[in-house]
Chain A
C-alpha cells in the first residue's frame, strides 16, 4: 500500500520510495528512508497529511505520499 492510503493514527514502515531524484533526496535528508518508521498524525480526505518521522512532524502533499510504499506496523501505542 502507499502512504496516501494510510489511516490517521496508524504506524507504518517505509518499504520503497519512487519519485524524482531531487525530491527523494530531500525526503531522505529529512530522515525518510527505506525502513524508517512513520506515524500518520493527521490527514485531509484527499490531499496533504501530517507525519511523525524521527521525532519531528512533516506535512507532505499527495504527490509525495502516493509515491511512498509502506507496510502497516504493529501498533504499540
Chain B
C-alpha cells in the first residue's frame, strides 16, 4: 500500500474519441465538447475523490501518435512523459478500434500503467458490431479494458475502480514483438541506456524512439548510437504496429464490415462536389436568420423587465434622496450601459444554440473539406476554415483553435483574418443600427456584414498569399467523424458556458466601461457638466472628427463609442445608450431616442453613414480579450501591434471608400 493516496492520471486518446466528454462526466467539469477533431488544444486538470484516493485527472489534446509533428502531440507527449503522471487512461473510440489501437500500443511501450476506456460502445452495438472483451485485454498485455459510455455516463465507477487498482498493480510486460532484427537493436539500445542513464524508467520506449530518429529523445539523452541505428526505422516500426493491430482486430472485432450507411448518405449531399459550398452558405444563412428572427421574438420580455428595473432604481434612489450624480451614474451609466447589452441575450442564446448543434453534429470537419478548394487558393488548408467559423461565435476561442494548424506561418495568417468573422459581440451593433436606419428591411444590412466579413477575410488572405508569392495549399488532412444526433447535455453545457461568458462580460468589462464612459461624458475640466458637449469625452472625440469624417462618421459621439468599443464590441452600443440616456437600446422607444439624438447632432446622418459605421465596427481593432489572446498565442508583441495598426487602417480605408462612392451614387 502506498503512503500517499494521491494518483495523477492523464486522459489520452485520438482526437474526437470522447476524452473531454468522459473527463466532464467523471470530474463534473464543464469543458467544451464538440464533434470535430481538435476541440481541446490545451490540457485541463480536475480533481475527484474515489475510494479514499485523491485522483488528479488531466485532459489532454487528442493525438494520433506520440510523435512531435503537431502542437497537440507536443503538449500531450510532454504531459504523459512527465514523471508525475502515474497512470494513463487511454480513451478509445470503440467504433474505430483499428486506428485508435495504434496510440494504445505506443502508450503501452511507456511502461506506465494503462487503462483502456472503451468509449462509444453504444455506437458499436447500434452498428451491429461486437468486440470480444476477454480476448482484447489478453492481446494488450493484460491491461484492464473497461467499456464506458461518456455520453450516457455508464461504466464510470468501474473505470475509476480500475484506475485505483491498476495503479497499485503496476505495469505489465511487453505487448508486441518487432521481429528479430528490430528487437535485437532495441535491446542493445536498452542496455546502452541503462549503462548511461541508470535512473531512466522508460528505456524500451526511448530505445524505440531512438530507432525512429526522434530528435527530442535523442537530444535529451544523447548517446553515440550510429553503430546500432544506421537509419530511421520509423516506417518499419509503424508497419509492425499496424500488423499487430490487424491481428488484434481479426481476433476481437466482429461484423466490422457493417459500416454506418447513414453518414455516407448525408455526406453524398453535404460534401457534394458542386452543392457542398452552396449548402454550407445556406446552413450559415439559416443560423443567422434564426439568430435575428427568433431572438427578436424572444426579446419582448426582456424589454419590460429592464423598464421596471430602470424606473424602480430611479424611484428608489430619489426616495432615498440620493444626489443627482449618483442617480445619473446608476440609471444613465450602469443600467443603460449594462442593461442595454443584456437585452441582446436572446439573440446570443439562439446564435450559440445553432452553432453548438452544428459543432456537435459532425458537420464542422466537412466544412474543412468543402471549403478546401477556396482556402487552398489563398494558401491555406481547408482546416484553417474551422477557426474562422468559430469566429462567428467569439474570436477568442477561434484564435486558440488555430493551434490545430500545421505551421506557425499559417496560424498567423489566420489570426489576421479571423476577427473579420462577425462575432456575437458585434451582433448588438448590427441589430441596433440596422433597425434604426433600415427599418423596412433590417435583416439585409446585418446579414451583409457577415458576408462582407467572410469575403474580405478571404480577399485579405489572398493578398497576403500573393505578396509572399505563396502557392496553392492542397495538403488538407482531417478526419471526418460520423454524424450523430447532437447530445442535449453537451449543447446545454456549451450554450450555458457561452451565456455565462456573456453575462460575466456584462458584469465586468461592460460594467466598468459604462462607468468610465459615463464619467468622461458627464465631467469636463470644470467638473460635472450639464451638456455632454463640454465633457472630456467630447474633447477627445472632437480631435478625431476630421479623421472619421471622410468615412461618414464625423461625430465626436461616434469617436467616443469606437474608442470605448475596443474594451468589448458591445460597448459601442453601451456608449450610445449612456450618451443619450437610453435605458434599453434594443427597444423601439430606445432606438427612436438614439435616432432623434443622432439626427439632432447631424441631420445628414443617414443609412449610408450607418452602414459605414457597421463596416468600421466589423473591421477595426477587435476587443481587448482578442488582442490579449493573439499576443499570447503568437508570442510576439510586434506582430500584435502591427496587426492592430493594420486593422485600423483597413477599416478606415474600407469605410471611406464605401462612403465616398456611396455619396456619389445616392
Contact = CB atoms under 8 A, between A and B. Distances in A.
B242 A61 contact: no
A25 B69 contact: yes
Interface string A51-70: 01111111111111000000
B641 to A, nearest CB: 32
A63 B238 contact: no
B361 to A, nearest CB: 15
A63 B475 CA distance: 5
A44 B235 CA distance: 30
Contact of A58 (B97, B376, B382, B477): B477
**Residue among B65, B256, B481 with max Cβ neighbours from chain A (10 Å):** B65
A22 B239 contact: no
**Residue among B235, B473, B475 with max Cβ neighbours from chain A (10 Å):** B475
Interface in A13-55: 22-23, 25-31, 33-36, 41-48, 50, 52-55
Given A29-B64, A50-B480, A62-B474, A55 B372 contact: no
A64 B476 CA distance: 8
B478 interface: yes
Given A41-B264, A42-B268, A59 B96 contact: no
A64 B634 CA distance: 28
A26 to B, nearest CB: 5
Contacts of A53: 99
B267 interface: yes
B138 interface: no
A28 B473 CA distance: 21
Contacts of A52: 259
B609 to A, nearest CB: 43
Contacts of B438: none
Contacts, number: 116
A26 B65 contact: yes
A60 B268 CA distance: 17
A48 B239 contact: no
Contact of B234 (A25, A31, A44): A25
Contacts of A54: 96, 98-99
A62 B281 CA distance: 24
Nearest to B256: A55
Contacts of A58: 477-480
Contacts of B259: 52, 55
Contacts of B96: 54-56
A57 B474 contact: no
B381 interface: yes
Interface string B227-249: 00000001100110010000000
B283 to A, nearest CB: 18
Interface string B87-99: 0000000011111
A44 B239 contact: no
Contact of B99 (A30, A61, A63): A30
A33 B238 contact: yes
A37 to B, nearest CB: 11
B365 interface: yes
B67 interface: yes
B389 interface: no
Contact of A59 (B65, B70, B98, B372): B372
A44 B477 contact: no
Contacts of A35: 239
A37 B556 CA distance: 67
B102 interface: yes
Contact of B474 (A27, A42, A45, A47): A47
Given A26-B64, A29-B102, A61 B239 contact: no
Given A33-B239, A60-B477, A48 B98 contact: no
B382 A59 contact: yes
Contacts of B433: none
B76 interface: no
Interface in B337-395: 365, 368-369, 372-373, 376, 381-382
Given A25-B234, A28-B235, A44-B273, A61 B479 contact: no
Contacts of A47: 372-373, 376, 474
**Residue among A22, A47, A59 with max Cβ neighbours from chain B (10 Å):** A59
A30 to B, nearest CB: 6
A28 to B, nearest CB: 5
A55 B98 CA distance: 7
Contacts of B102: 29, 31
Contacts of A60: 476-477
Given A31-B242, A42-B267, A48-B369, A26 B376 contact: no
A28 B238 CA distance: 7
A33 B99 CA distance: 12
Contact of B69 (A22, A41, A43): A22
Given A55-B256, A59-B369, A50 B267 contact: yes
B21 interface: no
Contacts of B95: 55
Interface in B55-69: 64-65, 67, 69
Contacts of A64: 475-477
B376 A59 contact: no
**Residue among A43, A53, A56 with max Cβ neighbours from chain B (10 Å):** A56
A22 B70 CA distance: 10
B481 to A, nearest CB: 8
Contacts of A57: 263, 479-481
A28 B234 CA distance: 10
A43 B476 CA distance: 13
Given A26-B64, A33-B235, 8 more contacts: A23-B475, A26-B69, A29-B67, A31-B102, A31-B242, A47-B376, A59-B480, A60-B476
Interface of B: 64-65, 67, 69-70, 95-99, 102, 234-235, 238-239, 242, 256, 259, 263-264, 267-268, 271, 273, 365, 368-369, 372-373, 376, 381-382, 473-481
20 contacts: A25-B67, A25-B234, A26-B69, A28-B239, A30-B479, A31-B242, A35-B239, A41-B264, A47-B373, A48-B372, A48-B474, A52-B259, A53-B99, A56-B479, A57-B481, A59-B365, A59-B477, A59-B478, A59-B480, A63-B474
